[in-house]
Amino acid sequence: MTSAPLAGRGTGVAPWRDIRVIRVAAQVVVVGLVGLLAAFLLRNLLTAMDQRGLGFGFGFLDSTAGFAISETPIPYSATDTYGLAFLVGLLNTLFVSAVGIVLATLLGLVVGVARLSRNFLVNRVAAGYVEIIRNTPLLVQLFFLYAFLLQLPGVADSVALPGGIFLNQRGLSLPAPVFSPTLGAWLAFVALGIGLAIASRFLLPRGIRSIGLLAILVVPAIGWIVLGEAPIGVDPPVLQRFNFTGGMTLSSGFTALLAGLVLYTAAFIGEVVRGGILAVRRGQVEAARALGLSEGHILRLVVFPQALRVIVPPLTSQYLNLAKNSSLAIAIGYPDLFSVSQTMGNQTGQPVSVIVMVMGTYLTISLVTSLLMNLYNRRVQVLER
Amino acid sequence: MTAEVLPPPKISVGPMAWLRENLFSSVLSSLLTLVVGGLLLLVLLLVADWALTEARWGVVTSNLRLFLIGQYPGDQAWRVWLSLAIISALSGLSAGIYGAATRTLGASLAAGQILIAVLALASNLGWVAIAGLLVNAALVGVAFFASVRFRISRRLLVVMWLASLPVSFLLLSGLGTEAVPKVSTSLWGGLLLTFLLAIVGIVLSFPFGVLLALGRRSTLPAVRILSTVYIEVIRGVPLITILFMADIMLPLFLPGEVRLDRVLRAMGGITLFSAAYVAENVRGGLQAIPSGQGEAANALGLSTAQTNIFIILPQALRAVIPANVGLFISLLKDTTLVVIIGLLELLGIGRAVLAQTEWFGAQLEVYVFVAAVFFVMSYAMSQASYRLETAMGVGSR
Amino acid sequence: MTRHFLPIVGLIVLALALAACGDVSVATPTPGGAEESEPAEESEPAEESEPAEESEPAESQAAEQPTNGRLAAVIERDQLICGVNGSLAGFSFLEEDGTNTGFDADFCRAVAAAVLGDPEKVEFRALNADARGPALQTGEVDVLIRNTTWTLTRDTTWGLFGPTIFYDGQAIMVNADLGAATIEDLAGATICVQSGTTTELNLTDRMRELAIEYTPNVFAEIDPTYAAYEEGACDAVTSDRSQLVSRRTAFEDPDAHVILDDVLSKEPLGPVVPLGDDEWFNVVKWVVFAVIEAEEQGITQANVEEMISSQNPVIARLLGAEGELGAMLGLENDWVVDVISAVGNYGEIYDRNLGPDTAFNLERGLNNLWTEGGLLYAMPYR
């Protein structure tokens, strides 16, 4: 605060010493400077873009893409539009991020608890894992994993795992579920089974209540038999001349990316979880023990809810980091949003528009994720009296 | 009084007791020990076997110069060792004057140079380089003892550190004379470029970040909104999009014939990105300062600027040093992303080396080497950070 | 002293930074010469800028100074910035000692010799397929000679294409063990391809036309593409035939790979300059024509000096002994002499990099003079 007195009626402070005037003037100056800078930069940008034939516009989204994408969750071919290609990239990113977040959280929990274990070996192994992962760049880890996966045998010599699963350097081929027309009917049976189980919880006397749970298994099984045609079939991968057809294949690019992201983020989540559990005051645990609660109950009912308060905010930023780090897929050939946009920018000759679109999309993903996590955060925060 | 024969006390000291308590304290624990221990042993054996028999470490030793300084002309490499000498000397002096964390850093610098010199023995780096590195390592120690012996003022040291940046840069890029010809920054590569990007990123993003943090907490709505928008936008997008934006759009933002080096564009992108994260860290520190400090300063008649510079910022910055060190470690690791815009820093050189015919298939060796280099650097910095935390008493109740 | 510590430190550092700027300015101009960029948003008080700076350029050429544009900029800078591949042996390859060799690299040197009189005044920028378009669009390179195919989209968005220096076609390379003889045999295969290339699009088109299913494996860089193919991650790889031949020589077992005879497309490769500069476009265009014309007239690196005094008016005009044609382009009159003595004529450039004495041994084929049945046709130099 400056030492200028407030101007009141009749105190007659000169305007240039009046705090309110100074505040407004300062803001005007700042906005003016920023505005001037922005205008200068924008002018340069527009002139340069004009000169060099760089367009800005989103009309290209409707034109034919002309390039193929190797992994597409929705049907896409080279005759589709750039807009659809962008969507395919976005779906790939979201898919990898979502699966990555789930797996990283699980692994992170394990790592965090392992770090707190009293077993020396488990503790040190987890610590070693965290130190190595945290101190090496993610990109190096991704390249390493991808190169490692490439060392697997070729397609012709795939490792055959039980269950019709084949592992080779191009990826993992699994039998895929095939849905037949009777699926709808069978799902109705499943719903019925769940409904019966829930109803039994309220209707049956206490002793035999758990038998109601059997309904979840029995009713769908009856439905499967009754319907005749299996609602879910299996499409096994079959080795053709070059590749496996049928089934679903998790490419080595996808696997390397997912593994890299999960291993990397899990190390950080492990540390966050450890910090959260350590933050719970010892007195709480001691009191719970004094009350005779079992270790499992203590962890679940006393430690964890309190730890969650500390864990959730940094956990949010780790999730966001994972989503943003998925953009490194370009380095190992997985067609995520960024990778597809690079091809688009190149083929359309409008890299500026494409970059703007991509940044906007990532920004939206980040904002939505942190919004959801903030809602959850509010729920676990301490309700002050 | 019949004396009960009590069983002997349970062993509670010695290796057996340690084993029982730490590894076999319960059934589950024993099981875990066996499983984890077995797996660990297996993995270590496989890795050792690979590293010692199958791996072709020649890919590292025969390309050591590329890894260290990229395409920097070999006959001008003495300038790199000279710059390192300056930094080594200053580190040694700092280690003596500041102690604790800087001592760790100084020691790591010396150890790192010795390690590289040892590696260089097996490569074609030349005796000049080996001698230079060893002399530098010794210089750290000499400077340390000198600083203990002769009292050098901290202020002088700060000035020397600040001056060393432009001086090293000049030395490396050259003056255009016969003795010190120009070396374009597009030739700088390998570890040299990694350091350049990281150091410039840190040095530039820090003041920028502090200003942003102050701006975000400002009472002037215009300033606050601008800062917040900038910080949130930058934190919401991946670094690689910012690097691409910098690579493609920065030249467009500048008038006409002003040409920006690729390296400078990457530096710009990294700085813009890092400043937002520094700002958030510093903001956390600013929020932790009790409002009484500001009020007391106000009561004493200090202006806003004076309060910030002399009262608030020193406390806030001290509180967030550990968080910032963590940020700088990630900045160091993030410099690898410039591979994707075509710059050849350490990882980029690694991939370029893999393209040579004779080293085809040596990918794992190269990536392990690059990872090891980064690990050593990051680990040293995080150890220094821990020592700093304990020295400052931050985080202990 | 202590009260004014901060300002004094600030001044000292500023002085050093300025000294760094100042020192550089008396030297020859920085090739990558640059200013520290202003961060796009905040306008708060200036940060210390790293002293990599724009130096006051030193005039170096004695020739008639062109008025504006890229030619003047190159002459002022006294260096040509040439976008190349850097990883394609025979065309532009970064040797271990840091030099760039190859067909495209020699054309870069030809342009430098023409404009600056010295073929070594070139800064080679290695660009991957995705980066070359934006590099041209942002004007980062003066000329792009990077086995780039001439297409309409690129002509209108990237830059202007000079005369084609290499007529090529797209082909597919497969592992000989797979026993594939034509493209139809590749149904269901995984094919490696680089992103941002015409080969990516052509492959898609051709496979669509033949209704063949395949899986593309797209890479941003050239090296991982071929590494993946060699490791077996792909069954086939597709690119310009010359590129496949070049990369095959670097394989562990070149004979285990066969290039199919199918030609998927036309791939005319040539130099590209940024849009909007006719003067510079003319310079690059006529460098190519001069080199081709020299071969047609029998001027070689060895005999160019004595050819200056030739009685043949065509040669005399070409080598600048007669007429003021060089000046019309904005160059020295005897610029062709500089070019030929630096890199030789087209045939010499071709033979040196791709000819029978090299590992590639590519037949001239379409890349021969029109008088020999090829497509190389230089416009009259008058």
B134 and B194 in a single domain? The answer is: no
- Please list every residue in chain C whose beta carbon sits closer than 8 Å to the beta carbon of residue A47: none
Does residue B391 have a pLDDT over 80? no
Residues C361 and C273 in one domain: yes
Q: What's the average model confidence in pLDDT over A300-327?
A: 89
| Domain assignment of residue B372, yes or no | no
- HSE-up of C106 (CA within 13 Å, CB side)? 25
Instruction: Give chains near A: 3+ CB pairs under 8 A.
Output: B, C
CB contact under 8 A, B186 and C20: no
Check residue B273 and give its pLDDT.
Answer: 94
Indicate whether B397 pLDDT > 60.
no
| Cα distance from N-terminal residue to C-terminal residue, chain C | 74
**A249: confidence class by pLDDT, cuts 50, 70, 90:** confident
- Of the candidates B182, B340, B341, the beta carbon closest to that of C30 is on B182
pLDDT band at C16 (very low <50, low <70, confident <90, very high): low
Helix (H, G, I), strand (E, B) or coil at B339: helix
Of C239, C265, C291, the residue that ends a domain is C265
pLDDT of the residue at C300 = 92
Q: Give me the pLDDT at residue B90, please.
A: 87
Residues C156 and C298 reside in one and the same domain: yes
Q: Which two tokens stand for residue A112?
A: 């965090």
Q: Which of B158, B183, B208 is the last residue of a domain?
A: B183
Question: Higher model confidence: residue C363 or residue C10?
Answer: C363
Same-domain check for residues C87 and C156: yes
Q: What is the pTM of this model?
A: 0.82
Chain C CB contacts of A48 below 8 Å: 138-139
Q: Across residues A262-289, what is the average pLDDT?
A: 92
- pLDDT tens readout for residues C207-226: 888 988 888 888 878 888 88
- Mean pLDDT for all residues in chain A: 84
Q: What is the dihedral angle through the alpha carbons of C42, C46, C48, C53, rounded to the nearest 10 degrees?
A: 90
Q: Is residue C273 part of a domain?
A: yes
Of B33, B240, B254, the CB nearest to A328: B240
Q: What amino acid occupies position A42?
A: L
Decide if B394 is inside a domain: no
pLDDT score recorded for residue A158? 80
Residues C260 and C337 both lie in one domain: no
Bigger pLDDT: B277 vs A172: B277
Q: Does any domain span residue B268?
A: yes
Q: Are C234 and C287 in the same domain?
A: no
Q: Tell me what the pLDDT averaged over chain B comes to.
A: 85
Full DSSP string of A269-321? HHHHHHHHHHHS-HHHHHHHHHTT--HHHIIIIIIHHHHHHHHHHHHHHHHHH
Nearest to C220 among A66, A243, A330 (CB): A330
Is the per-residue pLDDT at C366 higher than 50? yes
pLDDT recorded at residue A19: 80
Whether A342 and C130 lie within 8 Å, measured CB to CB: yes
pLDDT band for position A266 (cuts 50, 70, 90): very high
Q: Which domain holds residue C299?
A: 65-167+269-372
Give the pLDDT score at C6: 58
**pLDDT band, very low/low/confident/very high, at C8 (cuts 50, 70, 90):** low
The verdict on B104 and B249 lying in the same domain is no
> Could you tell me the pLDDT band of residue B367, with boundaries at 50, 70 and 90?
very high
Residue from the list A67, A150, A346 with its beta carbon closest to the beta carbon of C204 = A67
For C23, the closest of B155, B175, B227 (CB atoms) is: B175
Distances in whole angstroms, Cα of residue B296 to Cα of each of B219, B289, B303, B310: 18, 12, 12, 13
Residue C14 lies in a domain: no
pLDDT of residue C62: 40
Judged against a pLDDT cut of 60, whether residue A4 lies above it is answered with: no
Q: What is the tens place of the pLDDT at every residue in A113-137?
A: 899 888 888 899 999 999 999 999 9
Q: Are residues C210 and C298 in the same domain?
A: no
Q: What number is the ipTM of this complex?
A: 0.87
Structural domain includes residue B172: yes
Residue entry with tokens 């070019």: C339
User: Is B336 within 8 Å of A137 when comparing Cβ atoms?
Assistant: yes
- Chain A residue whose CA is closest to C44: A30
How far C252 CA lies from chain B's nearest CA (Å)?
7
Are B226 and A30 within 8 A, CB to CB? yes
CB-based contact, A45 to chain B, within 8 Å: yes
Nearest Cα to Cα of residue B119 among B68, B82, B69, B54: B68
pLDDT of residue B336: 94
For A148, the closest chain B residue by CA position comes to B364
For residues B172 and B206, state if they share a domain. Answer: no
pLDDT tens, residue by residue, B318-354: 888 878 888 889 999 999 999 888 888 999 888 888 8
- CB within 8 Å: C47 and B204: yes
Q: pLDDT tens digits for C127-182?
A: 888 788 888 887 888 999 999 999 998 898 888 999 999 999 999 999 888 888 88
Same structural domain, C82 and C136: yes
Mean pLDDT of the B381-394 span: 78
Cβ–Cβ of A245/C196 closer than 8 Å? no
Q: What is the mean pLDDT of chain C?
A: 81
**Cβ <8 Å between C233 and A53:** no
> Does pLDDT of A1 surpass 70?
no
* Within-domain flag for B91: yes
pLDDT at C55: 34
- Residues 6 or more apart from C106 whose CB is under 8 A from it? C343, C349, C352, C353
> What letter does residue A333 receive in the DSSP assignment?
T
Q: What is the C-alpha to C-alpha distance for residues A288 and A295, in angstroms, rounded to an integer?
A: 9
- Best of C193, C195, C230 to disrupt the A interface (most A CBs within 10 Å) is C195
| C-alpha distance from C36 to closest chain B C-alpha (Å) | 7
CA distance C108 to chain B (A): 18
| Structure confidence at residue C48 (pLDDT) | 34
C143: which strand partners? Answer: C82
Chain C positions touching B361 (Cβ under 8 A) are 231
Distance from CA of A106 to the nearest CA of C (A): 31
C13 and B182 within 8 Å at the Cβ level: the answer is no
Q: B251-288, pLDDT tens digit by residue?
A: 788 776 667 778 888 999 999 999 999 999 898 888 88
Highest mean pLDDT among A301-305, B275-279, C357-361: B275-279
| pLDDT number for residue B104 | 84
Beta carbons of C41 and B226 less than 8 Å apart: yes
- Residue B313 inside a domain? The answer is yes
Instruction: Please give the tally of structural domains in chain B.
Output: 2
pLDDT in the model for residue C18: 54
Shortest CA gap A170–chain C (Å): 6
- B175 touching C, CB under 8 A? yes
Residues B203 and B336 in one domain: yes
* Among B162, B169, B212, beta carbon nearest to C42: B212
pLDDT at residue C57, rounded to an integer? 34
Q: Over 60: is that where the pLDDT of A5 sits?
A: no
- Check whether residue C207 and residue C188 sit in a common domain: yes
Indicate the burial class of C346 (C-beta count within 10 angstroms; 0-12, 13-18, 19 or more). Answer: buried
Torsion of the alpha carbons at C332, C333, C337 and C342, rounded to the nearest 10? 10
H-type alpha helices, chain C: 5-26, 69-77, 103-116, 129-137, 152-157, 198-210, 222-231, 241-248, 278-297, 304-307, 313-318, 325-329, 335-343, 346-354
Chain B residues 266-325 with a CB less than 8 Å from chain C: 267-268, 271-272, 275
Both B78 and B152 in one domain: the answer is: yes
CB contact under 8 A, B374 and A324: no
Q: Which of C265, C285, C309 is the last residue of a domain?
A: C265
In a domain, C274, yes or no: yes
pLDDT digits (tens, 9 = 90+) for A173-188: 888 877 777 778 888 8
> Strand order of the sheet with strand C100-101?
C87-88, C92-94, C100-101
Comparing A188-192, C62-66, C145-149, the range with the smallest average pLDDT is: C62-66
- Residue of A106 and B125 predicted with greater confidence: A106
Residue B230, pLDDT > 90, answer yes
Q: Do C32 and B163 touch (CB under 8 A)?
A: no
pLDDT at res. C49: 35
Q: A-chain residues within 8 Å CB-CB of B239?
A: 324
Whose tokens are 């990516």? That residue is C200
C28 pLDDT exceeds 60?
no
Instruction: Please report which confidence band the pLDDT of residue A112 belongs to, taking 50, 70 and 90 as the band edges.
Output: very high
| Paired tokens of B301 | 């008649």
Q: How far is B81 from chain C (nearest CA, A)?
A: 20
pLDDT at res. C58: 34
Q: Same domain, yes or no, for B136 and B200?
A: no
Token pair listed for B35:
């499983």
In a domain, B96, yes or no: yes
Residues C196 and C139 in one domain: no
Record: contact C216-A70, CB cut-off 8 A = yes
User: Taking 80 as the threshold, does the pLDDT of residue C123 lie above it?
Assistant: yes
Q: At A343, is the pLDDT very low, low, confident or very high (cuts 50, 70, 90)?
A: confident
For residues B163 and B248, membership in a common domain is answered with no
Q: What is the pLDDT of residue A218?
A: 81
From CA A35, how far away is CA A181, in angstroms rounded?
Answer: 62
Q: Are A342 and C196 in contact (CB under 8 A)?
A: yes
Give domain status of residue C283, yes or no: yes
**Minimal C-alpha gap between C335 and chain B (Å):** 26
**Closest in C54, C139, C252 to B360, CB measured:** C252
Number of domains in chain C: 2
The reported pLDDT for the residue numbered C343 is 94
Confidence of residue C65 (pLDDT cuts 50, 70, 90): very low
The confidence score (pLDDT) of residue C31 equals: 33
User: Based on the domain organization, do B230 and B313 belong to the same domain?
Assistant: yes
Kindly state whether residues B192 and B168 are assigned to the same domain.
no
Say if CB C165 and CB C268 are below 8 A apart: no
Q: State pLDDT tens for residues A285-300.
A: 999 999 998 888 888 8
Q: Could you tell me if residue C30 is inside a domain?
A: no
* B120 & B239 share domain: no
Inside any domain, residue C1: no
| CA–CA distance, A270 with A265 (Å, rounded to integer) | 8
Mean pLDDT highest for which of C23-37, C54-68, C352-366?
C352-366
pLDDT tens track for B55-93: 888 888 888 888 888 888 878 888 888 888 888 888 888
Match 């676990």 to its residue by tokens. A380
Q: Which residues of chain A are within 8 Å of residue B364 when distances are taken between CB atoms?
A: 144, 147-148, 151
Contacts of A132 in chain B (CB under 8 A): 375
According to the model, what pLDDT value does residue C322 have? 84
Does residue A119 belong to the interface with chain B, where contact is any CB pair within 8 Å? Answer: yes
Same domain? For C123 and C73 the reply is yes
B40 in C contact zone (CB under 8 Å): no
What mean pLDDT comes out for the span B384-389?
81
Query: What residues make up the domain containing B270?
Result: 188-359
- Tell me the helix, strand and coil percentages in chain C, rounded to 5: 40, 15, 40
Residue B212 belongs to a domain:
yes
| Residue in A closest to C159 by C-alpha | A52
Are C136 and C274 in contact by the 8 Å Cβ rule? The answer is: yes
pLDDT at C323: 84
Query: Among the listed ranges A316-320, B1-5, B284-288, B388-392, which one has the minimum average pLDDT value?
Result: B1-5
Residue C35 lies in a domain: no
Q: Which chains touch B (3 or more CB pairs under 8 A)?
A: A, C
Among C201, C230, C265, residue at a domain's last position: C265
Chosen domain end from B183, B210, B239: B183
Q: Of A239, A316, A229, A230, nearest to A272 (Cα)?
A: A316
B355 touches C: beta carbon within 8 Å: yes
Residue B326 to chain C, least CA–CA distance (Å):
23
B194 with B175, same domain: the answer is no
Q: In the prediction, which pLDDT does B396 show?
A: 43
C155 shares a domain with C141: yes
Query: Do residue B240 and residue A148 have CB atoms under 8 angstroms apart?
Result: no
Calculate what percentage of chain B has a pLDDT beyond 90. 22
Same domain, C273 and C368: yes
Where do we find the tokens 């140079």? B113
| pLDDT per position as a tens digit, C277-320 | 899 999 999 999 999 999 999 999 999 888 888 888 899 899 98
Asked if the model's pLDDT at residue A75 lies above 90, the reply is no
Residues B204 and B170 in one domain: no
pLDDT exceeds 60 at position C38? no
Q: What is the pLDDT of residue A257?
A: 95
CATH number, domain containing residue C192: 3.40.190.10
- Considering B165, B183, B201, which residue would you say is the last residue of a domain? B183
Confidence (pLDDT) at C377? 93
